[in-house]
Structure 1
Amino acid sequence: MIEMTAQNPIIKHIFTADPSPIVHNDTLFLYTGHDVATEADTNYKMADWHVFSTTDMATWKDHGAPLSPSTFSWATGDAYAAQCIERNGKFYWFVSTFHKKDGVSGGGAAIGVAVSDKPTGPFKDAIGKALVINEMTKDLPHAWDDIDPTVFVDDDGQAYMFWGNGSCKWVKLKENMTEIDGSITTFKPKNFIEGPWVYKRKGLYYLVYAGAGTKPEMIEYCTATNPAGPWTYQGIIQENVPNSFTTHPGIIDYKGNSYFFYHNGSLPTGGSYRRSVCVDYMYYNEDGTIKKIVQTTDGVKALK
């Protein structure tokens, strides 16, 4: 188990991307992708998903990679963005990867769900098949539109999953977190590209995503008073990040602070396919709108 001291990027011994934080038993767990592309590669190579944890926002423990596309018998290819959440004492890790076609690659992007009794695993495929496959969403012609799932459970117990590349999709989930409940809805928030992160704060729903219409991506967001929308565009909260044409939000409140996780390419030999997770403070205005994120190399202060 490797311990690290936080300065941005907070993880330095491997390349990490697509951060997803949760809090369990007073510990913050951070789930990430893992870039393994070489400096010469011109596309993503993402081997697996890692788990890190902290209790002070300064020292991070690496719990290894308890999940990879090979966990899923139906999957092939890379470990794209994912999010883990807790419900009814179990941890459900919603992931995006690619689906085999006739036993080999070529089936398009798909969303799966793994489950564990502990936040650090071991995880197993919860249902033995993909939750969403390319053929279920026909609004866009490209095969990688079903990526980047984000899941939250509302105060009334209803769970929702949002995802997408090029357009945003959402659907209700049954209480078991492994079945879709009803039809998939597709919509297009202003400048939406990918990487949605959905949460609720003080009665307001937030849909935060990678946007700006063209790469390099920025982080933009909408708000709503209902998870089904309508969503009101609120603007850009994070400008381009250093040395990466993608970025990805992960937002959490922990021990009295709001934290904004993202990735950039600022480690030595880093880049758009060799990214690194960072964290900075997040602040809200009185009306619930989000103040611009200030990207720092210092990161956040250690908690006492």
Structure 2
Amino acid sequence: MKSTFYLTFLFCLGFFGKSYSQNPIITDVFTADPAPIVYQDTVFLYTSHDTASVEATNYQMKDWLVFSSTDMVNWTNHGAPLSPKSFSWATGDAYAAHCVEKDGKFYWYVSTFHKKDENSNGGAAIGVAVSDSPTGPFKDALGKALIVNEMTTDNEHGWDDIDPAVFIDDDGQAYLYWGNGSCKWAKLKDNMVELDGPIHHFKPKHFIEGPWVYKRQDLYYLVYASAGTKPEMIEYCTASSPEGPWNYQGIIMENVPNCFTVHSGIATYKGKDYFFYHNGTLPTGGSYRRSICVDYMHYNEDGTIRKVTQTKEGVLPAE
């Protein structure tokens, strides 16, 4: 009897084999900027890929990675089906990206930098790749950037067109959100690769970058990395429309360990809500060698989000 109790106790603590997830959830490579989607009962996780050396003082991010899981604990690495080299107009590193599915096709919106040519004088730009599979192969859907620096003038710096995130509303209308220093948004046409109207911009309280928009019941949520303090935190707003106006609600998650940035992604899977983020806690990790974690997310009765508790244990297997 005592032996059975002891084994059960160890299992519950997560020490029995590898039955339970441990944060960070990806340990064989450095990953950041999580963007999860749920498709056909599987979670697909699209990530940035940090390759900087331990001594580096800036980012080195050469491609984007894809992982999948059917239990939120065991993750399969599908490699790097996309990089800036996949775009003839691109140069520089592979910054935050977001993939969505529509009508059986997968559209991966990425941020990188644009070559100086007849279409742009350079600066950050957003492209879109398409595939018939969530794991690729992906190819440039346009042959040119969807967003170039010259299309947005509300900020003077050349890296404000980064961190794309797409939300598709219940009526099928898709919206693209992005930005550093201000949050920008525009409608997308049904083909998912063209803007359908003007670019708008606004600045939620403490907004710096990394927007993520989703709907729960009748409420829309705008979650983002904040610059109210350094290092960054995650804060959010709510609205009754994906076009706003957005009402500030507060902090979802405090600073993360050993990293001055944080970037979030949110998914509902098998009846539970999950909050993905990155930190710098892997051995030799740091602000340029980040790692993705996941913890549970909970709501109050009025729809506001409770603060996310960062854990080393992570989440239990989804059933």
**Structure-1-length-normalised TM-score:** 0.97
What residue number does 2:12 align with? none
Q: Is structure 2 residue 86 aligned with structure 1 residue 71?
A: yes
2: CA distance, partners of 1:96 / 1:163: 9
Contact kept in structure 1, 2:161 and 2:180, CA below 8 Å: yes
2: CA distance, partners of 1:12 / 1:266: 10
What residue number does 1:283 align with? 298
2: CA distance, partners of 1:82 / 1:28: 16
Contact kept in structure 1, 2:20 and 2:316, CA below 8 Å: no
Q: Secondary structure at the match of 1:193?
A: strand
Q: Which has the higher strand share?
A: 1
Q: Secondary structure at the match of 1:70?
A: helix
1:192 to 186, 207, 213: 207
Contact kept in structure 1, 2:98 and 2:109, CA below 8 Å: yes
In the TM superposition, residue 213 of structure 1 has moved relative to its aligned partner by 2.3
2: CA distance, partners of 1:4 / 1:220: 32
2:266 to 251, 266, 279: 251
Q: Secondary structure at the match of 2:75?
A: strand
Contact kept in structure 1, 2:167 and 2:175, CA below 8 Å: yes
Q: Is structure 2 residue 233 aligned with structure 1 residue 218?
A: yes
Q: Which runs of 5+ in 1 are unaligned?
A: none
What residue number does 2:24 align with? 9
Asked which structure has the greater CA Rg, the reply is 2
Q: Once the two structures are superposed, what CA deviation does each residue of 1:21-59 show, in whole Å capped at 9, x if it has no partner?
A: 001110100000000000111011111100000001111
Counterpart of 2:154 in structure 1: which amino acid? D
What residue number does 2:4 align with? none
Contact kept in structure 2, 1:5 and 1:60, CA below 8 Å: no
What residue number does 2:281 align with? 266
Q: Secondary structure at the match of 2:85?
A: helix
Q: Secondary structure at the match of 2:31?
A: strand
Off by >4 Å, runs of 4+ in structure 1: none
2: CA distance, partners of 1:300 / 1:106: 45
1: CA distance, partners of 2:126 / 2:54: 28
2:104 to 79, 89, 108: 89
What residue number does 2:69 align with? 54
Q: Is structure 2 residue 149 aligned with structure 1 residue 134?
A: yes
**Does the C-alpha gap of structure 1 residues 135 and 26 become closer, same or farther in structure 2, counting only changes over 3 Å?**
same
2: CA distance, partners of 1:110 / 1:191: 23
Contact kept in structure 1, 2:100 and 2:108, CA below 8 Å: yes
Q: Secondary structure at the match of 1:183?
A: coil
What residue number does 2:49 align with? 34
Contact kept in structure 2, 1:94 and 1:114, CA below 8 Å: yes
Contact kept in structure 1, 2:71 and 2:318, CA below 8 Å: yes
In the TM superposition, residue 157 of structure 1 has moved relative to its aligned partner by 1.1
Q: Secondary structure at the match of 1:81?
A: strand
In the TM superposition, residue 201 of structure 1 has moved relative to its aligned partner by 0.7
1: CA distance, partners of 2:151 / 2:197: 12
**Structure-2-length-normalised TM-score:** 0.92
2: CA distance, partners of 1:288 / 1:48: 36
Contact kept in structure 1, 2:20 and 2:317, CA below 8 Å: no
Counterpart of 1:41 in structure 2: which amino acid? A
Q: Would you say how many aligned residue pairs link Structure 1 and Structure 2? A: 301
In the TM superposition, residue 212 of structure 1 has moved relative to its aligned partner by 3.6
2: CA distance, partners of 1:6 / 1:51: 18
**Does the C-alpha gap of structure 1 residues 301 and 5 become closer, same or farther in structure 2, counting only changes over 3 Å?**
closer
What residue number does 1:299 align with? 314
In the TM superposition, residue 118 of structure 1 has moved relative to its aligned partner by 0.2
Contact kept in structure 1, 2:107 and 2:129, CA below 8 Å: yes
1: CA distance, partners of 2:242 / 2:252: 21
2: CA distance, partners of 1:295 / 1:219: 12
1: CA distance, partners of 2:302 / 2:19: 37
What residue number does 1:161 align with? 176
Q: Is structure 2 residue 254 aligned with structure 1 residue 239?
A: yes
Q: Which runs of 5+ in 2 are unaligned?
A: 1-17
In the TM superposition, residue 215 of structure 1 has moved relative to its aligned partner by 2.4
Q: Secondary structure at the match of 1:182?
A: coil
Q: Report the RMSD for the aligned CA atoms in angstroms.
A: 1.4
Contact kept in structure 1, 2:19 and 2:317, CA below 8 Å: no
In the TM superposition, residue 6 of structure 1 has moved relative to its aligned partner by 2.8
